[in-house]
Amino acid sequence: MTDSAAQSTRFTADRLLVFGATGDLSQRMLLPSLCALSHDGLLSSALKITGTARSAMSDAEFRNFARAALEKHLPANRRGGMADFLNRLAYQPLDASTVEGFDALAQKVGTPKQGLAIFLSTAPSLFEPTIAGLQSAGLTGANVRIGLEKPLGSDLASSREINDAVAAAFSEDRIFRIDHYLGKETVQNLLALRFANLLFEPIWNANYIDHVQITVAETVGLESRVAYYDDSGALRDMVQNHMLQLLALVAMEPPTSFDATAVRDEKVKVLRSLRRVEESESVTGQYRTGVVGGKSVPGYDEELGKDSETETFVAIKAHVDNWRWKGVPFYLRTGKRLPERVTEIVIQFRCVPHSIFQSRGARTQPNRLVIGIQPEENIHLSLMAKVPGLDREGIRLRPVPLDISMPDAFAGAVKRIAYERLLLDLLEGDQTLFVRRDEVEAQWEWIDAIRALWAREGLTPRAYPAGHWGPSAAIALVERDGISWHE
């Protein structure tokens, strides 16, 4: 469907159906986001929200459950009108593995006047039976759209199975695949930085950029994700979705407009241009006992309770083989039990071609742009400046930072949970910040090739102490190119 056609059929849903309504994601993100949107008057007064899960609850019990989640996870200054929000909620128990019970669910949801939005956060094994149940109950009509929370498969083949099952009931213009990183304010600001400032776009290419680093570091271990994470690992949990989406936003060509089709067309071109990773271009690791934040923490195998070859750290040297980025390496790094929690993008520019200050003893350093995504949202640009003085012993130059803290730059603006934007876009039908099927499949194709390489070469994770930046081989990965990780 073209954007004009999608625009003509766009509707604002007046019913929202949330699968997995009693789960961790619902408690931490979905219910707080919806309540905050309600508090700010951004939800239609007609919107009714139905939660469903296996747990047996009445409407009243679910509202009490939701109240407890809001009091725990939503700041007090954003809970205004909580009673009104809770009155929007209803609940219907359901075993999604069988079609029995979906008719009762449809009756509970009621007949929407405008349309129904479904948020599906469930195990991959339940996607097909859930879609079948929705179809059997008449909950897949033209005025219904669906949001899909990851994981959407564990490889290209299983991803296609899930996408085929969903496509049997929903056209692509009604499928909203969620990557919550795309809802983060600073991630979207990356597009504004590139395409709303003449300063950057002319130099955003291989002529001026030496390399790019993308780091997603966590201090936590397994927490409550033991079974899922050991089946997944860092490559599939983080690189396949979040990190490749960040890479695509950094490397994409300027879209013709800021709409779903134009933006996603350019992202998928980047993903299809990714060169296959060679054996020397990836490092995996698994954390052992160490110290994080001054506290002793167990190793991965101790947390898991058994030996495992699942990687908790991965570093990759990637290449985008197109005109703009030929010869520019993209270094990706992610892991658990690292020294600090940080997500950032580093754009390292090249050195000036000739330094007029060298004969006076001054050394120049290349400019560097650091885009911080979490825990702090900021933009840091280092520029060379002269150190004040009479310079009788030579000119001294030093990098001077230009820092923009996004919360400070926009004082008074509400700092929103990423899911607030994504849920609102789902309700209103805007797909710009959601992932299209061809994007997902291009990501999986690249990831599957890496996993096949590891299996073929018998590569297993190297041990690293918790609280360190991964195994030493990750440092060697970049140092043999004459650079260092930004820390």
Pair 466, 337: CB distance under 8 Å: yes
Residues tagged in the binding site annotation for substrate? 180, 184, 218, 237, 336
Helix (H) or strand (E) holding 402: strand 397-405
The alpha carbon torsion through 360, 366, 372, 378 (nearest 10 deg) reads 50
Pair 274, 448: CB distance under 8 Å: no
Coil, helix or strand at residue 284: strand
Residue 221 sits at the vertex; the CA angle it makes with 217 and 222, to the nearest 5 degrees, is 125
DSSP-assigned states of every residue in 179-218: -GGGGSHHHHHHHHHHHS-TTTGGG-STTTEEEEEEEEE-
Pair 149, 119: CB distance under 8 Å: yes
CA dist list (Å): 28 to 57, 69, 146, 366, 418: 19, 7, 21, 42, 12
Burial of 482 (0-12, 13-18, 19+ CB in 10 A): exposed
In sequence order, what are the beta bridge partners of 274?
320
Pair 246, 186: CB distance under 8 Å: no
Residues tagged in the binding site annotation? 54, 150, 180, 184, 218, 237, 336
Q: Which of 39, 73, 211, 242 is catalytic?
A: 242
Q: How far apart are CA 425 and CA 421, in angstroms?
A: 6
Q: Which residue has the tokens 């070469």?
A: 457
486 is catalytic: no
For the chain, how long is the longest CA-to-CA vector?
86
Pair 396, 364: CB distance under 8 Å: no
Which residues are annotated as catalytic? Answer: 242
